[in-house]
Structure 1
Amino acid sequence: MVDALIETLANLPPQLAVFIISMVPIAELRVSIPVALGVYKLPIWEAVLFSVLGDILIALLIIRYIGPLSQWLRQKSKFFKKLFDWWFSRAIKRMDNKLDVWGPLALMLFVGVPLPVTGAWTGATASWLFKIPRKIAAVFISAGVLMAAFIVTLISLGVFSFF
């Protein structure tokens, strides 16, 4: 998947390609930072900057538009109804108890730990589902994105080694 995405983005400037990769669900900056550093050989600051900007931008768009867009698409298509039902149920399962205990801080921690399906997409969706005010959600999700960028950058540079 990553190779196909890189090939598609090959004709773009590396910074724009990294920005776009960071906006892709599941990949987000967990993929864009290692690609920026390893494939494009960008300086650390550029890898982090364009990855963080893309991830925060997509989170802000989701926070703002997921409600009206999902309602409209669910009315138009059985496929989208199933897709959004699946996506929303997963977000609720992942965040339900955490938000009860930690409040919006749970969004930061959830987004900030760079594991599969714990990124800005799911955090932004959960913030809408749990009716967290947009500005509060944006602040805590952005902080989580910065935390994840720090962790992923350190791992990409070999500061942490798991194997």
Structure 2
Amino acid sequence: MGNLLKIFLISAVPLIEQRGSIPMGIILYNIDPIKVFLVCFLGSMLPVPFVLLLFNKIFEWMQNYKIFNSFSNFVQKKLDKNTGKMEKYKEIGLITFIAIPLPTTGVWTGTAVAAFLKLDFKKSVICAAIGGLLSATAITIISILIPSFLGY
């Protein structure tokens, strides 16, 4: 499997997303940062429509089975933690939440919160794209600068 495909797929994985795939592409695989930026942004957007359309149904189904209790409790805590800000600020809150490249933020979590709050589908996709672009920009810049700071 080619390295571009690897970082594309990794950028679609929850919790890893662009935070892992962009540094991997730039630092580990030494791929052109612009290519990495585009491929990882597109990869992170891949799950957005599916999460928006299916999250609530799958989450409700999972809550009916004990085997998923720890996972559904983890997800519920993350949703409860982040929904207040989202309800207050809606689109700006969603963009900001997705744009901040920290653990448990990002496209997956932001989109799940949007689905949970039943925000408008089209607006949620646009917010995810804007937040994803901002996040990818920050992570790309950091991934370019870190090796130079470390003397590589």
Q: Establish whether TM, by shorter chain, passes 0.5.
A: yes
SS of 1:104 mapped into structure 2? helix
SS of 2:103 mapped into structure 1? coil
Residue range with higher mean Cα deviation, 120-129 or 83-92:
83-92
The residue number in structure 1 matching 2:38 is 49
> Which of 12, 35, 46 in structure 2 is aligned with 1:23?
12
> Which of 56, 59, 76 in structure 2 is aligned with 1:70?
59
The residue number in structure 2 matching 1:59 is 48
The Cα of 1:157 is off from its aligned counterpart by: 0.8
The Cα of 1:24 is off from its aligned counterpart by: 1.5
Are 1:85 and 2:73 counterparts?
A: yes
Provide the rounded CA distance (Å) in 1 between the counterparts of 2:106 and 2:141: 17
Residue range with higher mean Cα deviation, 42-51 or 63-72:
63-72
Provide the rounded CA distance (Å) in 2 between the counterparts of 1:21 and 1:49: 13
Q: In structure 1, what residue type is equivalent to 2:30?
A: K
The residue number in structure 1 matching 2:28 is 39
Query: Normalised by the size of structure 1, how large is the TM-score?
Result: 0.83
Fraction of identical pairs, as percent: 28
Distance 1:38 1:91, change over 3 A: same
Q: Which runs of 4+ in 1 moved over 3 A?
A: none
Equivalences, count = 149
Deviations 1:76-131 (A, max 9, x none): x21224312320221221231x2233222101000001011111111011001111
Give the gaps of 5 or more residues in structure 1: 1-11
Q: In structure 2, what residue type is equivalent to 1:56?
A: M
The residue number in structure 2 matching 1:94 is 82
The residue number in structure 2 matching 1:9 is none
Provide the rounded CA distance (Å) in 2 between the counterparts of 1:162 and 1:105: 33
Query: Normalised by the size of structure 2, how large is the TM-score?
Result: 0.89
Give the gaps of 5 or more residues in structure 2: none
The CA RMSD over aligned residues, in Å, is 2.0
